[in-house]
Amino acid sequence: MSLTHTGGAPACRILAIETSCDETAAAVVADGRHVLSNRVASQIEIHRRFGGVYPEVASRQHVLAIQTVVEDALADASVAHVRDLDAIAVTHGPGLAGSLLVGVNLAKGLAFASGLPLVPVNHLEGHIYSNWLYTDTSPDIARKQRSSSASEQFPALILIVSGGHTELVLMEDHCRYRHLGATLDDAAGEAFDKVARLLELGYPGGPAIQAAAEAGDARRFHLPRPLMRPGRRTERQPDAQTSPPPAVLPVRGEHRFNFSFSGLKTAVLNLMRQLEREGTDARQKQTAADIAAAFQMAVVDVLVGKTADAANEFAVKQVCICGGVSANGLLRRTAEQHFAVMGLPLRCPPLFLCTDNAAMIGAAAYYRRSYSAARQRAPQDRAHRQPAEAGAHPTPRDQPIEPSARDLLALDVYASLPLVDTTGL
Ligand code: KG4
Ligand code: ZN
């Protein structure tokens, strides 16, 4: 494949592997932006019967699927030999130990055999970089996507909402993050999954709640907005398809940018028990749909309300929402409406890049390797901060390959996002 930068330099192509949970994924990404291939073998059907991810089954399934998934990703990108690529990236945490091991060991083997550098990637950083990926191969689109309207604008506010994490992060530059807040208990996706289980709507809970809520009346039941306080409803009239602008404001003080969803799940349980006491079957189709709609709207109010508050506080230039829950239609519509009123550009990945995939890992690997190494080499040189176009980026190819990196890569099961110091916030 003769993909080139606009300047004619060869593209930097990275094979990425992701096996942190229950998706076996491989992708080839050019210049950290352009998805040349993206294969995901989902285990959803297998875990559905358990109502959640069964870790040992997940890792065994990765073992069965990974070789085909990687071969297919290489073939889709017309890569004949791994050595024709520039680097191999792999998720090394956070995630399930047995699942991560499968991807990491394969990546190590490929790197060892091909002599390519191996780039360990933090899964959360992968979700962040899913925001700037594009898939169209036509040169015009590629050029347009690289233009400033599609590019990163810093500082950017990132909301990561997945099955394991709910984090608000201030992204000051490539690979430079300050932590603003996180969930104190359940992640947003976890709450969707647990409430779906209570209502017997199926697995995974997010899409199941969303589907049920479509036929529901979100105003039949009132559920709490945890770590928010009452606010004034704005004048805009909500339509049937959109959550009203949050009538709640984030609490002040230490939990201003933190989240809590465990109490909301308990509120659903208490509501169901109360309905049962009153002789109403909470799992009856319409009642379950109404509860699902009320729950979904409560989560969206909190997510959008807190993100908007942080966007104001830190005067960001862009807002990005990523992770599995960012596939939620109500969240996307409400955020779109809210940030349009605030005059802030909003980015959400296309639906197929919201949930776990390897393309996002290839993107994060490109930027981490390029920008961290460039900073180490020349901390006084800030020119790399605002490259005019993708071709101006320092690339992994420019970096010396440390042979020991292949041997040193270890799992980091509890990894959190690599942060800059948080003083001065
Ligand atoms: O990012 P992801 O694929 O895996 C983790 O890194 O955790 O996120 C999976 C989570 C699950 O909890 C799933 O229920 C949720 O994302 N999810 C959704 C939707 N699609 C997936 N939540 C709400 N609405 C959706 N449409
Ligand atoms: Zn994820």
98-133 b/e with 16+ CB inside 10 Å = b? bbbbbbbbbbbebbeebebbbbbbbbbbbbbbbbbb
| Alpha-carbon span 359 to 370, nearest angstrom | 17
Q: Write out the chain's pLDDT in tens, 425 residues.
A: 333 344 556 789 999 999 999 999 999 999 999 999 999 999 999 999 888 899 999 999 999 999 999 999 999 999 999 999 999 999 999 999 999 999 999 999 999 999 999 999 999 999 999 999 998 755 555 555 555 445 789 999 999 999 999 999 999 999 999 999 999 999 999 999 999 999 999 999 999 999 999 999 999 999 999 999 887 654 444 444 555 555 678 888 888 999 999 999 999 999 999 999 999 999 999 999 999 999 999 999 999 999 999 999 999 999 999 999 999 999 999 999 999 999 999 999 999 999 999 999 999 999 998 876 666 665 554 444 444 344 455 555 555 444 445 546 788 888 888 887 544 44
> Residues 401, 17, 173, 393: what is their CA dihedral angle, to the nearest 10 degrees?
50
The amino acid present at 104, given as its one-letter code, is: V
Q: Give the pLDDT of residue 222.
A: 94
Kindly report whether the global pTM for this prediction surpasses the value 0.85: yes
| Alpha-carbon span 372 to 63, nearest angstrom | 32
First to last CA, the chain: 46
**Structure tokens of 369?**
């390797």
359 C-alpha to ligand 2 centroid (Å): 12
Return the DSSP state at 183: B
Q: Give the pLDDT of residue 415.
A: 86
> What number does the ligand 1 atom closest to the CA of 204 have?
14
| Alpha-carbon span 213 to 206, nearest angstrom | 11
- All structural domains of the chain, each given as residue ranges with its CATH number in brackets, are 13-151+355-408 (3.30.420.40), 156-344 (3.30.420.40)
Beta-strand ranges (E) seen in 111-226 are 118-122, 156-161, 166-173, 176-182
Q: Give the pLDDT of residue 376.
A: 62
Residue pair 396/117 in contact by the 8 Å Cβ criterion: yes
206 lines ligand 1 (CB under 6 A): yes
Collapsed DSSP state (helix, strand, coil) of residue 381: coil
Q: Give the pLDDT of residue 420.
A: 77
Q: Give the pLDDT of residue 148.
A: 43
127 C-alpha to ligand 2 centroid (Å): 6
The residue whose C-alpha atom lies closest to atom 19 belonging to ligand 1 is 206
Q: Is the dihedral of CA 220, 226, 228, 230 positive or negative?
A: positive
Q: Give the pLDDT of residue 328.
A: 98
Q: Give the pLDDT of residue 253.
A: 83
The amino acid present at 228, given as its one-letter code, is: M
Task: Specify whether the backbone of 191 is left (phi greater than 0), alpha (psi in -120 to 50) or beta.
Answer: alpha
Please tell me the number of the ligand nearest to residue 324's CA.
Answer: 1
| Alpha-carbon span 88 to 145, nearest angstrom | 24
Q: Give the pLDDT of residue 245.
A: 53
Which residue from 303, 333, 355, 357 has its CB within 8 A of the most atoms of ligand 1, so it is best to mutate?
355
**Structure tokens of 79?**
């890569």
> What number does the ligand 1 atom closest to the CA of 329 have?
26
> What number does the ligand 1 atom closest to the CA of 327 have?
26
379 C-alpha to ligand 1 centroid (Å): 38
The Cα-based distances of 158 to 175, 307, 362, 368 in angstroms read: 12, 8, 19, 17
| Alpha-carbon span 161 to 132, nearest angstrom | 17
207 C-alpha to ligand 1 centroid (Å): 8
**Structure tokens of 191?**
């709450």
165 C-alpha to ligand 2 centroid (Å): 8
205 lines ligand 1 (CB under 6 A): yes
Please tell me the number of the ligand nearest to residue 161's CA.
Answer: 1
